[in-house]
Structure 1
């Protein structure tokens, strides 16, 4: 079976994509698969580079990775690939649309405002969210361009910074609480991980620097564990997810709030999904097999 591992891409998460791709290549079973590393620098390269393959393992993140674009391109040539389909990927990449659907399904999300590049900002309205406040690109990941602000000056500065990564920026009320992530493999919930950054919040540095964050199997009471699992299962079904997805949740005063769904979770050696799978007794190589088989 000829498998191409597609990595690189055009998003701000290119570096993480390459790390994910390298780790996937390292752990794919060489006795089962003929493996072709594919680093892309522009969209127009893809169709030529995947010719003759049997399957594409997507190690892309961000724009032209998780937003449904590459999925649509591969669908157009009937090339099987890992992860969710075009529609699911596109919706889950758009944080505003994800929140709208979750709210309609009575799943708790943080209050927010959306602002678009070029519009006049009403800071009196925006400040009604209250401080601290989270600023993030509406379409993005790996906490790139994400900030926590505590006053008007920081708010103005960080909105400008976030607009460097997307034309639409989300302002979100900061929910103080314990952060968890729920990996789901083919509809089965794997061990919930507790995320405890040693400094600040779970930003880009904390996510990808070894030793900066404690990521351990969560020790939850049965009631809270059940609440989180019910919500995660609903998310999987609502968005018609496929293969593997990671759902980020924060729990404040016993109430779980969904932060986002990751339809192509990071697969570096420090990534959360492989750690959870390992705690479930699934080694990295077997995890990749299961994703491909799905």
Structure 2
């Protein structure tokens, strides 16, 4: 185990100004408490208070990024830390920006032959009937640069398409349509190229939405997932390929659907996953004997010079 003094001063950055602020505050609070428990010199910082100058004033030796969404998960904070030569957790500038953009992430996956549902960008000129003919119903309408299923609608009729698009526009100027995959939902976590056991998620209303993710006690997380050994291995290999295709580093999570024929379909990659009491990465880690405190330190270890992930993410 790394001695606490080797980390120097750690600043946990959480909160921020994105629509996922509340979840970020929960994640960052849990990480902060864990690092304090481990005897590490740590302080929490909310960039909504004084922006980048406030962070610089704290003189961090390294940063644990617990921000979700734009302003923290999209490469902007990562770029600033690169210029300041401050090591940080998670993926670098390119992978963070790419992972935040679901359309471009899917374009990379498709170019590499990785399975992801058909999708396209939408705007005010979209012909809704033609869209329904191309992608089929039901389909998913969602913001391109949001997480936590915010602004997402599963549309089952042509008449509801424009309304769903307008709803998503409240969250992001970029909105996409995606073929809906009816089936089982899985999530796979990766820590420094180690693929953790897959989790199958069963939401009480059949839709793993914001409430089901963070607050419902009725959401079921199946660990082990119930997959055969062969299918578990296939899913792990696909998830790692998807993670690496985007250029992710350190840690992250890949979300996947499985259709009725048994095919896996990549939905998105998360480069700064949740670390709340309901979060998936801690659950997967605990299943193989890595408790929350050890997980937090292992993620922080990726910022150390001896780690396979250097302080700069070039």
Give the structure with the higher percent strand. 1
Q: How many residues end up aligned between the 2 structures?
A: 291
SS at match of 1:28: helix
Question: Is residue 2:283 matched to residue 1:275?
Answer: yes
Equivalent residue number for residue 126 of structure 1: 131
Equivalent residue number for residue 92 of structure 2: 85
Equivalent residue number for residue 204 of structure 1: 210
Aligned 8 A contact 1:249 1:259 in 2: yes
- How much has 1:30 moved relative to structure 2? 3.7
Aligned 8 A contact 1:131 1:149 in 2: yes
Indicate the larger mover: 227-236 or 89-98. 227-236
State the alpha-carbon separation in 1 of the partners of residues 244 and 119 from structure 2: 24
Aligned 8 A contact 1:199 1:212 in 2: no
Describe how 1:5-154 pairs up with structure 2 within 5 A. 5-41=12-48, 45-51=51-57, 52-116=59-123, 119-128=124-133, 129-154=135-160
State the alpha-carbon separation in 1 of the partners of residues 216 and 42 from structure 2: 28
State the alpha-carbon separation in 2 of the partners of residues 111 and 237 from structure 1: 21
Aligned 8 A contact 1:50 1:56 in 2: no
State the alpha-carbon separation in 2 of the partners of residues 229 and 92 from structure 1: 19
State the alpha-carbon separation in 2 of the partners of residues 164 and 291 from structure 1: 34
Q: Which runs of 5+ in 1 are unaligned?
A: none
Alignment partner for residue 171 of structure 1, among 171, 177, 188?
Answer: 177
Indicate the larger mover: 191-200 or 28-37. 28-37
State the alpha-carbon separation in 2 of the partners of residues 103 and 262 from structure 1: 18
Question: Is residue 2:167 matched to residue 1:161?
Answer: yes
- How much has 1:124 moved relative to structure 2? 2.1
Indicate the larger mover: 101-110 or 20-29. 20-29
